[in-house]
Amino acid sequence: MKMLEDDLDDWRPIQCRGVRGATVATANTPEAIWAATRELLFTMIHYNGIEAADVASAYFTTTADLTAAYPATAARQLGWLDVPLLCGHEMAVPNSLGNCVRILLHWNTRKEQTEIHHIYLHEAMTLRPDKDSLPPIPAEEIAQYMQTL
């Protein structure tokens, strides 16, 4: 009896996987930090099929030049009210990318590590040149999603 590929996925164990992403904020203002973080988080959710109920926790970091707001607020704006969130600053490394927001999601999934899409947007794409870039999600699609919350 031949099993469908979807049936095979049901037999995979659920494992906690890391999903990484990074982007840059256009300024050190709450609005710019939240907008950049929302775009990044939405893109990570979209391309990986992530449901908030499957997220164990999320860790947000910024470079030391971003101090105007907690980037995790953007996750709350997207409806992640029950997901444990934490923010911190990145190490101050010389010549590192400024105004950078990074996210590490701990996601309970049946996907293999190689099936996970790590997302690097805008200038942050230079952080992982080995990763294929994904086409951007139209701003209208993000706006429509935001209206459903």
Residue range 42-75, pLDDT digits in tens: 999 999 999 999 999 999 999 999 999 999 999 9
Q: How many domains, the chain?
A: 1
Element (H, E) at 144: helix 139-147
Q: What is the pLDDT of residue 3?
A: 38
**Predicted structure pTM score:** 0.79
Residue range 12-26, pLDDT digits in tens: 789 999 999 999 999
Q: What is the pLDDT of residue 147?
A: 72
| Residue 8 is assigned to a structural domain of this protein | no
| Residue 131 is assigned to a structural domain of this protein | yes
117, 134 Cβ separation under 8 angstroms: yes
| Residue 7 is assigned to a structural domain of this protein | no
| Residue 2 is assigned to a structural domain of this protein | no
A 10 A CB-CB count for 24 gives 19
4, pLDDT greater than 50: no
| Residue 120 is assigned to a structural domain of this protein | yes
130, pLDDT greater than 90: no
Mean pLDDT for the chain? 86
Give the residue from 71, 78, 63, 60 showing the smallest Cα distance to 20: 60
Of the chain, the percentage scoring pLDDT greater than 70 comes to: 84
Domain range for 58: 13-147
Residue 20 belongs to domain with CATH number: 3.30.1330.40
88, pLDDT greater than 80: yes
| Residue 4 is assigned to a structural domain of this protein | no
Between 93 and 3, residue with greater pLDDT = 93
| Residue 112 is assigned to a structural domain of this protein | yes
